[in-house]
């Protein structure tokens, strides 16, 4: 809200410099965001918190500033000269829905000449950010800015039946608001109607049919108190936020209703001539009187951590116009009606704290009651991050809100959680997998000219399963290009990412976590190349997938290289990884080594060879590693040679060559028998 | 010429040939020629029988001396030649040491995750337990349980992404508060960190997604002074010694008294600069004493127990620390950016 200082001075005398006053207001909770200039005068731009509707006026700001500058608030003088006939002969007012309107005041001014407002008023309105229109409308705005009470002026002659009826709208009722827009009303919206039709959307905007125009002579000024929740709903539903609705939403002082009406009538008379009808119509089905709130000084001190005496507290509250006395050691506060935010003890605690100054509060620390600790997920996540980083992977952080097309791409549309009010079409859902996001990182970096990428992310994915929402953690990665920055002397196959580099990274991670019994098998996943994808299994439980990105996925994202990806279930890893790695005795006896070049059908999986060797070589085959893979004319069509290195060792004694040869024979004959292998 | 003189000449010639040998192979040949079973010196020794008896002893001695001398010379020459051969080989292995190495790309942590970890560590040291909480949250926990009145303008300040009528993406990590209160008994000291979402246009300083941390403490006798002390402790740990905190009144429905917390500007140390708009302070957190309605809603007796709560955004801290001027960089994952930090 804009507060022209020249206007503020009408209600409060102060001599301190403006930046000092701004600082004091800010430290009291009424933040002066900026000191600007308008109409050649300084203006405070203040940020009013939603709980303090009473600050949305010059008087409200002056009232807060008064104790800060040590001066008294000056209320505008009321000198209404009502000389006309009784107001009751011009208008009758009825409230049919008192739950939504606690008070409605009507004042009539007749014989007004509508015209431009005087300079001083135009300047003040402009400085406060409002456009001057004509003297009648300007006065309603002026008084609203001055006292915080939204007002509306009707052309009395355009009201049918000389009646005002405050009621809920009827289904299908329409009104053209003064911004010349047709509005369709709903039955829970409050309207101001005459005997035939709605003439205003209560507290939001008046109707075009009854608005002040150049020919207007007789005026009804409306000053009412509407229920804030109703105004808020109506304003939201109609998409109209006005100065009036903004104030009603935040609460308007029910005691200022009549004061504001009379103030406006008098100003209109002064600026536009005419005669004010005698008396006011004041329909008040729900009168509001100041209420009592008690506070225990010891409680105030306990919450604030202070040591103030009750008299000091009472003085602070009185300074804020909250009439406070002390009885039986307790503070008894009579809360003025403009402070609707104060209803219980804690509200008074805050007022005392504000007046004392938060910056004056002492600093202590709570008693130590427990050891701090990380969550299990936090601890394990850090372990995982360290391993991945040590594998050379760069950590990234991608958005959870994504295009639902990505879930389609992953073949998991049925799992996707959609947003009802997305920011844009391409952010209409929550990610179901991290893989497309990480491919997106490759794509984006490719467009910046960075083609060597090895990234990972530990983050949540979001699933809907049978209406239930869940957000499990995943660890995923994507790689493309080379892992080496300078590689002029490396063989070509060591330079570019392929399935086996990606698999090797996953193997390294699982090994570092101490997870055993890991195996891999083909998998069909829409995100993976149909023949270059694998599921990662521990025992018979699938914990993730890895492989080359599916060509169509890659192409749809304009990725030129052939990236590889992996995604593993965080919770499964956390469960499978031993918290503590156990030490195994170092071998006591020497090992013997043998190489074996096994020729099998190219359809035979390496895993089958492994399991035959493990089975037949038990218990002395300690380790098997693949040395070379060869296909070619020498061994024949449809065949492949796998050279493995075997390590033989016994836990009990030193093995002899003869013993190893016996085992090797067993292994070879098992391979021959079970896989039809031959040997080179 | 005597046999002795003869031997001396022979010896000199042999030593000269050894000295001139160009390879170990040549030496091997010389060794055979002179010292072998059929070698020259063996032949000389055999002559001994043909010499007068009085000369035999001296001659024998001379031949043996020469043998030893020659053998030592060959060994020495052989070592020298071997060294020379090694030297020559090593020279042949010369590299251009100024060529680049095989530069392995190291992995790095994401700067924002590192900040989250740093913040987390400080609160763990201050005795807080880190908890994990959902981002897809109910309207109840995000607003109602936090004392947001129905249809109150305070809700406007954090326009939410809705999943359906009851569920939304949490607009603040504070949404965890009631969840944790419901399953714990005082004293409670917990913390949570993570993503939050608000309907907001994206620019250099705003985003629809951001990260927050939230802490709260409930016990007997917790006061606003404890809140101030705690945040001061955090600020000093995070931003360094000499950092101060400034509290001023602010409004959040779930706390009362409510405060906005600023810390000494890390750029100008409080003297005023363009980052802090000349104030010397940077806004850090929203904080306050947990509203009795919130405690009571979770079944905690607000007469016996009081508590404080605070929360703040994470992004600003690494932005200030590293001079990052665009929030979007954090989640754009441009490796040219990430590889710098």
Q: For residue A40, what are the contacts with CB-CB under 8 A and spacing of at least 6?
A: none
Which residues on A lie below 8 Å from B331 (Cβ)? 397-399
Instruction: Tell me what pLDDT residue A14 has.
Output: 95
B44 touches B63 (CB < 8 A): yes
CB contact under 8 A, B225 and A52: no
Contact status of B213 with chain A (Cβ, < 8 Å): no
Contact status of A214 with chain B (Cβ, < 8 Å): no
B258 touches B288 (CB < 8 A): yes
CB contact under 8 A, A394 and B132: no
Contact status of A171 with chain B (Cβ, < 8 Å): no
**How near does any CA of chain B get to the CA of A512, in Å?**
16
Q: Give me the total of CB pairs closer than 8 Å, taking one residue from chain A and one from chain B.
A: 265
CB contact under 8 A, A401 and B197: yes
Contact status of A678 with chain B (Cβ, < 8 Å): no
Contact status of B102 with chain A (Cβ, < 8 Å): yes
Contact status of A481 with chain B (Cβ, < 8 Å): no
CB contact under 8 A, A393 and B251: no
Contact status of B5 with chain A (Cβ, < 8 Å): no
The DSSP call for residue A494 is G
CB contact under 8 A, B110 and A397: yes
A444 touches B334 (CB < 8 A): yes
CB atoms within 10 A of CB A198: 24
Q: Where are the domains of chain B?
A: 3-92, 111-338
Q: Give dist(CA A224, CA A207) in Å, integer.
A: 16
Tens of pLDDT along A338-391?
A: 999 999 999 999 999 999 999 999 999 999 889 999 999 999 999 999 999 999
CB contact under 8 A, B127 and A389: no
pLDDT at A487 over 90: no
CA nearest to B133, candidates B125, B122, B145: B145
Contact status of A375 with chain B (Cβ, < 8 Å): yes
A199 touches A206 (CB < 8 A): yes
Instruction: Tell me what pLDDT residue B1 has.
Output: 61
CB contact under 8 A, A391 and B107: yes
Contact status of A232 with chain B (Cβ, < 8 Å): yes
Question: Which of A166-180, A201-215, A287-301, B51-65 comes out lowest in average pLDDT?
Answer: B51-65
Tens of pLDDT along A74-119?
A: 998 877 888 888 998 999 999 999 999 999 999 999 999 999 999 9
CA nearest to A248, candidates B250, B156, B152: B152
B158 band by pLDDT with thresholds 50, 70 and 90: low
pLDDT at B157 over 80: no
Q: Which residue has the higher pLDDT, A52 or B100?
A: A52
CB contact under 8 A, B127 and A423: no
Query: Please, what is the average pLDDT of chain B?
Result: 91
Contact status of B209 with chain A (Cβ, < 8 Å): yes
CB atoms within 10 A of CB B200: 14
Q: Give dist(CA A582, CA B250) in Å, integer.
A: 54
N-to-C CA span, chain A = 89
pLDDT at B90 over 90: yes
CB contact under 8 A, A363 and B232: yes
The DSSP call for residue B162 is B
Which B residues 120-139 touch A at CB under 8 Å? Answer: 120, 123-132, 134-136
**Backbone dihedral angles phi then psi of residue A247, each to the nearest 5 degrees:** -75, -45
**How near does any CA of chain B get to the CA of A319, in Å?**
17
Which residues on B lie below 8 Å from A484 (Cβ)? 102-105
Going along chain A from its start, the domains and CATH numbers come out as 2-69 (3.30.56.10), 82-283 (3.50.40.10), 291-357 (3.30.56.10), 376-576 (3.30.930.10), 592-679 (3.30.70.380)
Contact status of A485 with chain B (Cβ, < 8 Å): yes
Interface test with B, best of A372, A418, A441, A445 (most B CBs within 10 A): A372
**How near does any CA of chain B get to the CA of A189, in Å?**
14
Which residues on B lie below 8 Å from A399 (Cβ)? 209, 331
Across the range B113-135, mean pLDDT stands at 97
Which residues on B lie below 8 Å from A354 (Cβ)? 249, 257
Q: Give dist(CA B304, CA B227) in Å, integer.
A: 18
**How near does any CA of chain A get to the CA of B214, in Å?**
14
CATH number of the B111-338 domain: 3.30.930.10
ipTM value, please give it. Answer: 0.89
Contact status of B158 with chain A (Cβ, < 8 Å): no
Tens of pLDDT along A396-440?
A: 999 999 999 999 999 999 999 999 999 999 999 999 999 999 999
Instruction: Tell me what pLDDT residue A492 has.
Output: 74
Interface test with A, best of B105, B222, B287 (most A CBs within 10 A): B105
Q: Give dist(CA B62, CA A294) in Å, integer.
A: 128
Across the range B250-274, mean pLDDT stands at 93
Instruction: Tell me what pLDDT residue B154 has.
Output: 66
User: What global pTM score does this model have?
Assistant: 0.87
């Amino acid at each position: 809200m804009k507060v022209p200082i020249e206007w503020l001075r009408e209600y409060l005398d102060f001599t301190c410099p403006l930046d000092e006053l701004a600082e004091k207001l800010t430290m009291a909770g009424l933040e002066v965001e900026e000191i600007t200039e308008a109409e050649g005068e300084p203006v405070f731009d203040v940020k009013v918190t939603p709980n303090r509707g009473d600050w949305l006026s010059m008087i409200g700001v002056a009232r807060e500033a008064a104790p800060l500058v040590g001066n008294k608030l000056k209320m505008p003088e009321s000198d209404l000269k009502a000389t006309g006939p009784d107001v009751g002969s011009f208008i009758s007012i009825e409230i049919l829905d008192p739950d939504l309107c606690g008070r409605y005041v009507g004042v009539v001014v007749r014989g007004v000449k509508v015209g431009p407002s005087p300079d001083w008023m135009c300047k003040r309105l402009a400085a406060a950010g409002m456009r001057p229109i004509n003297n009648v409308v300007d006065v309603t705005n002026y008084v609203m800015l001055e006292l915080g009470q939204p007002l509306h002026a009707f052309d009395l002659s355009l009201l049918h039946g000389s009646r005002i009826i405050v009621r809920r709208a009827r289904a299908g009722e329409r009104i053209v608001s003064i911004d010349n827009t047709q509005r369709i009303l709903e039955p829970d919206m409050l309207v101001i109607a005459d005997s035939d039709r709605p003439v205003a959307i209560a507290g939001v905007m008046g109707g075009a049919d009854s608005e002040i125009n150049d020919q207007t002579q007789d005026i009804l000024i409306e000053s009412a108190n509407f229920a804030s929740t109703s105004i808020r709903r109506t304003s939201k539903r109609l998409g109209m936020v006005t100065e009036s609705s903004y104030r009603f939403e935040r609460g308007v002082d029910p005691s200022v209703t009549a004061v504001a009406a009379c103030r406006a009538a008098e100003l209109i008379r002064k600026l536009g001539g005419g005669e004010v009808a005698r008396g006011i119509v004041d329909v008040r089905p729900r009168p509001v009187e100041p209420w009592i709130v008690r506070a225990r000084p010891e409680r105030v001190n306990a919450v604030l951590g202070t040591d103030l005496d009750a008299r000091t507290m009472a003085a602070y509250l009185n300074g804020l116009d909250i009439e406070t006395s002390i009885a039986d050691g307790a503070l008894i506060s009579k809360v003025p009606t403009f402070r609707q935010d104060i209803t219980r003890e804690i509200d008074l605690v805050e007022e005392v704290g504000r007046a004392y100054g938060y910056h004056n509060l002492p600093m202590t620390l709570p008693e130590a009651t427990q050891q701090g600790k990380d969550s299990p997920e936090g601890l394990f996540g850090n372990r995982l991050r360290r391993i991945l980083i040590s594998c050379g992977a760069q950590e990234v952080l991608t958005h959870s809100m994504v295009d639902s097309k990505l879930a389609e791409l992953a073949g998991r549309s049925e799992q996707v959680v959609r947003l009802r009010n997305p920011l844009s079409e391409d952010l209409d859902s929550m990610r179901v997998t991290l893989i497309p996001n990480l491919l997106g990182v490759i794509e984006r970096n490719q467009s910046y000219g960075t083609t060597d990428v090895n990234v990972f992310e530990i983050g949540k994915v979001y699933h809907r399963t049978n209406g239930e929402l869940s957000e499990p953690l995943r660890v995923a990665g994507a790689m493309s290009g080379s892992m080496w920055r300078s590689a002029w002397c490396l063989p070509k196959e060591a330079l570019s990412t392929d399935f086996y580099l990606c698999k090797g990274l996953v193997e390294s991670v699982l090994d570092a976590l101490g997870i055993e019994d890991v195996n891999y098998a083909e998998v069909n996943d829409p995100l993976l190349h149909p023949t270059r994808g694998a599921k990662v299994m521990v025992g018979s439980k699938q914990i993730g997938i890895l492989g080359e990105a599916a060509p169509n996925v890659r192409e749809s994202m304009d990725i030129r290289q052939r990236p590889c990806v992996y995604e593993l279930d965080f919770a499964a890893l956390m469960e499978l990884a031993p918290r503590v790695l156990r030490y195994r005795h170092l071998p006591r006896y020497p090992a013997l080594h043998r190489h074996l070049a096994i020729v099998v059908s190219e359809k035979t999986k390496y895993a089958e060879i492994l399991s035959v060797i493990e089975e037949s070589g038990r218990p002395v085959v300690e380790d098997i590693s693949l040395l070379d893979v060869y296909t070619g004319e020498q061994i024949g069509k449809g065949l492949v040679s796998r050279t493995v290195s075997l390590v033989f060792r016994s836990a009990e004694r030193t093995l002899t060559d003869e013993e190893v040869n016996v085992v090797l024979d067993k292994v070879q004959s098992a391979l021959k028998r079970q896989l039809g292998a031959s040997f080179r | 010429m005597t046999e002795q003189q003869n031997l001396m000449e022979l010896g000199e010639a042999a030593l000269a040939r050894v000295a001139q040998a160009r390879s170990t192979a040549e030496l091997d040949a010389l060794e055979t020629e002179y010292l072998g079973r059929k070698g020259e010196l063996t032949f000389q020794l055999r002559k001994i029988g043909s010499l007068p008896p009085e000369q035999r002893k001296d001659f024998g001695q001379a031949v043996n001396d020469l043998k030893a001398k020659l053998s030592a010379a060959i060994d020495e020459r052989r070592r020298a030649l071997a060294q020379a051969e090694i030297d020559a080989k090593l020279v042949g292995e010369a590299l251009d040491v100024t060529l680049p190495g095989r530069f392995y790309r190291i992995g790095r942590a994401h700067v924002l995750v590192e900040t989250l970890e740093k913040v987390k560590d400080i609160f763990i040291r201050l005795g807080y337990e880190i908890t994990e909480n959902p981002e897809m949250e109910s309207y109840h926990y995000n607003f109602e349980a936090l004392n947001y009145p129905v249809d109150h303008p305070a809700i406007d300040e954090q326009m939410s992404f809705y999943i359906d009528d009851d569920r939304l993406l949490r607009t603040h990590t504070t949404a965890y508060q009631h969840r944790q209160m419901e399953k714990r008994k005082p004293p409670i000291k917990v913390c949570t960190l993570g993503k939050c979402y608000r309907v907001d246009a994206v620019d250099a300083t705003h985003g629809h997604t951001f990260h927050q941390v939230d802490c709260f403490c409930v016990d007997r006798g917790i006061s606003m002074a404890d809140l101030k002390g705690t945040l001061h402790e955090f600020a000093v740990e995070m931003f360094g010694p000499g950092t101060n905190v400034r509290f001023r009144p602010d409004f959040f429905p779930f706390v009362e008294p409510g405060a906005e917390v600023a810390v000494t500007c890390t750029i100008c140390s409080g003297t005023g600069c363009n980052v802090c708009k000349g104030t010397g302070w940077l806004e850090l957190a929203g904080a306050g004493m947990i509203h009795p309605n919130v405690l009571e809603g979770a079944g905690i007796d607000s007469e016996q127990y009081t508590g404080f709560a605070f929360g703040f955004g994470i992004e600003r801290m690494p932005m200030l620390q590293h001079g990052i001027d665009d929030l979007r960089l954090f989640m754009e994952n441009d490796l040219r950016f990430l590889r710098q930090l």
